[in-house]
Amino acid sequence: MTGIDDIADSIKRSKITSGMPIKIVAIDGHGGSGKSTLAVKLAKELDAEVIHTDDFASWDNPTNWWPQLQDQVLEPIKQGAKTLSYKPSSWAPDHYPEPVKDQPVTPIMILEGVSSTRKEFRPYLSYAIWVEAPKGVCIARGLERDGEDMREQWEQWWADEEKYIAEHKPQEYANQIVSGE
């Protein structure tokens, strides 16, 4: 992976998107590619808050959740919100995540997750990173986290991600491509 300092410097030098009061940096890539790890490191380096697309996606809605994130996060930021509040999605019938309440809007916000550089979000983004990792690595990481009994869901998730990638071409849009290995 490119050095965190180098990535952070590139982000600091990037321009704020017209009409936005802050910089939003998207970190996209397949599930298990290393997006969250990179987001945590960059957030520390940039004193940034992180918004996870996993708070909006779910196993049964891997990529079409975007209107909720746009309405509950991106538009409020554009309108000058100082804090964000939203209810994360449930990934399982017995999973009831706590609502996000009063998350500070910082001068740089990181939008981390699968399809975070989708075409609909690009008018809000100042910088985009694609995290590249082979399928075998991504699926192995996902199964390590979620358990072997989730293999079928991970294989379907990968297929859904491939459709998103074919349509939105996030690697071509990215300002920077980094290795997640």
Mean pLDDT within 41-46: 98
Alpha carbon distance 148, 130 (integer Å): 26
* pLDDT attached to residue 12: 97
* pLDDT attached to residue 57: 83
Mean pLDDT within 150-169: 92
Q: pTM, whole model, 2 decimals?
A: 0.93
* pLDDT attached to residue 58: 77
Note the pLDDT tens digit of each residue in 51-87.
999 899 877 777 788 999 999 999 999 999 999 999 8
Percent of the chain surpassing pLDDT 90: 80
* pLDDT attached to residue 135: 93
Please spell the DSSP secondary structure of the chain, one letter per residue: ---HHHHHHHHHHSPPPTT-SSEEEEEEESTTSSHHHHHHHHHHHHT-EEEEGGGT-BTTBSSS-HHHHIIIIIHHHHTT-SEEEE-PPPSSTT--PPPEEEEE--SEEEEESTTTT-GGGGGG-SEEEEEE--HHHHHHHHHHHH-GGGHHHHHHHHHHHHHHHHHH-HHHH-SEEEE--
Q: Where are the domains of the chain?
A: 4-179
CATH superfamily membership of 4-179:
P-loop containing nucleotide triphosphate hydrolases (3.40.50.300)
- Is the pLDDT at 1 greater than 70? The verdict is no
pLDDT averaged over the chain?
A: 93
